[in-house]
Structure 1
Amino acid sequence: MTPLLETRGLTRHFRVGGTFSRKRLHAVDEVDLTIGEREIVALVGESGSGKSTIARLLARVHEPTEGEILYQGRPLSQIRGRKDELAYRSDVPMVFQDPFSSLNPAYRVSHGILRGLVLHRPDLNASQREAEARRVVEAVGLHPAAEILERFPYELSGGQRQRIGFAQALAYRPKLILADEPVSMLDVSIRIGLLNVMAGLRENEGVSILYITHDIASARYVSDRVAVMYGGHLVEHGPTEAVLSRPKHPYTQLLLSAVPDPRAALDPDAVKDRGEPPRVVDPTPGCRFRARCPFAIDRCSVETPRLRQLGVDHQAACHVAEPDADILAEAGA
């Protein structure tokens, strides 16, 4: 089955140091990622790992340096003209980290949703647009919809504003929503509500979601698959429970060890962070996690590891990671 969206060798480098500089920041390097229909994929990693750059590449804010993006089997490089561009942006909208920045404070909430409907769904008349605006507001759990639409952004809480961000995206009848850290600016007590909204959109609206986050606990709660980014590379990928219950890459193990659990005893064998984040300006060959990795070997300094199969649909880019031989044998892999 053709994935809804697929990246092949997706790469994005940025020039740094001035007009004539030859230095390049390797924000994303050779990322292969797929997102299926009605699927939530979590892209996890710390700040600077390349997560948001991938979202902006998929949203066509940036063009890839190398590699390609395919949407429903068609390369995005073939998109030509305003009509095709609008069609793709309707199918793949983005919800941003700061809910206030996506709403114009001078206008009522209804303005952004109705304006988007005029642009992306010109087949609707005025009364149909108003009905659709009420429908999408209710779909994200805001009631009464008519009252919410008449409010100004400053009259809403942070959680309500972020829900409006999802309502604006939903109004376009999307196939895939790019959600860039949508809960990171919200109080912990209301994050779960927005995660449930995302799960509800998948179940009730048939929408896929790329959920970008540094919070591995929320990724576990809402996603079907997890992709772990580090230093511009995809270092581990697979079904959520497989990756988070049996992490293969030392960086994934480090992320999990950082999740607080007051009931758990101290684990002296837990992976310890012993270094600094990687240099991604003109990086040298080798694993970019090697300076922080307690298991690094000589090979890690000279050869960049590639993703390899270590479990059923579970891949990791690590020279020392061991495969789940029993699980692979059961699956006949």
Structure 2
Amino acid sequence: MDTNQAGVTESAAAPLLEARELTRHFRVGRGFSPQMLHAVDEVNFSIGRQEIVALAGESGSGKSTIARLLAGVYKPTSGEIFYQGRAMSTFRSRKDQLAYRGDVPMVFQDPFSSLNPAFRVKHGVLRSLKLHRRDLTTKAQRFDEAERVIEAVGLSPAGDVMQRYPYELSGGQRQRIGFAQALAHKPKLILADEPVSMLDVSIRIGLLNLMAELRESQGVSFLYITHDIASARYVADRLMIMYAGHIVETGPTESVLQNPKHPYTDLLLGAVPDPRAPLAAGLESDTGEPPKVIDPTPGCRFRWRCPLAVDRCHSETPLLRVLGKNHEAACHVAEPDS
């Protein structure tokens, strides 16, 4: 047993972070008939210690909203987030909030706007250390630690990198600085919101390897948000597939990709380019309308595009159910493993 800065007791058996019935709606429209956009609806998941969990889905599915809920940028409309067994809604004091944000920092998608161009690279890292690392009491200690975390993300010599301005760094180097700023907190979980999507394909693998290395060397867990199934397969232990505000399938990465249970997962896999296949192979089933998330009616939100939809899909919202070993899907017609 151990206790963190916010007074949260850690247990090896409990998940590091858990979301229960997590929901976030946004009001849209004006006048006397306001409408609600259901960005995230009654989502349940957990993230264990030293685990990389990928959250995949197309644009607008609610992935980034989940990241911002976990980071505390948005407050849930309903539901709760538990961090090391304690409800996040109870983190009311500044001390508790700083402790949580130090433990669960976020790395943003855009490496070109996530760093302030008016300051040298060292500014953000040293500021993070001053806010979240009360054990470092002097400037010299903070500077030494800043050099350590910058070298830990593969940038050296650290002293030279710290003196540069963001415009003097490449996109991949800037994203590594984003990871260094997060690592400066001594985090337990890093929320990585599509951290490689704006980078050249040739340098994406280096950032994915960095995540795996930080998990091994620093004991950090990751929620890796992506629309790229291939990168999720490369780096993640577990995969969650999200569609129109719902998690529609979840399980060990290889199990989900080798034996998909939900038609939307099949669609995502069919959209991955295969040089051996004819052009547009695997996309024949992608017909119908985009998801309806403004005041949606009951029923499966994928039913408009699903070739397997039955009458029940139009009236009853499917819930996640176990269909294999640690493998769940929210589909009325999916068959369990024999």
Q: How would you bin the TM-score normalised by the shorter chain?
A: over 0.9
The alignment partner of 2:300 has SS state of coil
Instruction: Tell me the equivalent position of 2:143.
Output: 130
Instruction: Tell me the equivalent position of 2:75.
Output: 63
Inter-CA distance 324–99: structure 2 relative to 1 (3 Å threshold): same
Inter-CA distance 20–205: structure 2 relative to 1 (3 Å threshold): farther
Q: Is the 8 A contact 2:303 2:309 kept in 1?
A: yes
Letter of the 2:36 partner, please give it. Answer: R
Where structure 2 has 5 or more consecutive residues not aligned to the other structure, the ranges are: 1-12
Q: Is the 8 A contact 1:275 1:292 kept in 2?
A: yes
What's the CA shift string for 1:126-175, capped at 9, x where partnerless?
11111111111111111111111111000000000001000000000000
Instruction: Tell me the equivalent position of 2:160.
Output: 147
Report the CA distance between 1:100 and its aligned residue: 1.9
Inter-CA distance 19–200: structure 2 relative to 1 (3 Å threshold): farther
**Whole-angstrom distance in 2 between the partners of 1:217 and 1:21:** 43
Residue 85 of structure 2 corresponds to residue 73 of structure 1: yes
Q: Identity of aligned pairs, percent? A: 73
Letter of the 1:67 partner, please give it. Answer: G
Query: How much is the aligned-residue C-alpha RMSD, in angstroms?
Result: 1.3
TM-score normalised to the size of structure 2? 0.94
TM-score normalised to the size of structure 1? 0.95
Report the CA distance between 1:80 and its aligned residue: 1.6
Residue 304 of structure 2 corresponds to residue 291 of structure 1: yes
Residue 219 of structure 2 corresponds to residue 211 of structure 1: no
What's the CA shift string for 1:19-50, capped at 9, x where partnerless?
65431000000100100000000000000000
Residue 115 of structure 2 corresponds to residue 103 of structure 1: yes
The 5 Å alignment of 1:1-333 reads 1-18=13-30, 20-124=32-136, 125-264=138-277, 272-325=285-338
Q: Is the 8 A contact 1:15 1:21 kept in 2?
A: no
Most deviating of 117-126 and 86-95:
117-126
Letter of the 2:220 partner, please give it. Answer: V
**Whole-angstrom distance in 2 between the partners of 1:88 and 1:210:** 16
**Whole-angstrom distance in 2 between the partners of 1:293 and 1:168:** 43
Most deviating of 218-227 and 256-265:
256-265
How many correspondences in the alignment? 325
Inter-CA distance 20–82: structure 2 relative to 1 (3 Å threshold): farther
Where structure 1 has 5 or more consecutive residues not aligned to the other structure, the ranges are: 326-333
**Whole-angstrom distance in 1 between the partners of 2:104 and 2:284:** 37
**Whole-angstrom distance in 2 between the partners of 1:297 and 1:31:** 24
Most deviating of 19-28 and 234-243:
19-28
The alignment partner of 2:304 has SS state of helix
The alignment partner of 2:67 has SS state of helix
Report the CA distance between 1:181 and its aligned residue: 0.6
**Whole-angstrom distance in 1 between the partners of 2:293 and 2:279:** 33
**Whole-angstrom distance in 2 between the partners of 1:90 and 1:205:** 15
Letter of the 1:90 partner, please give it. Answer: G
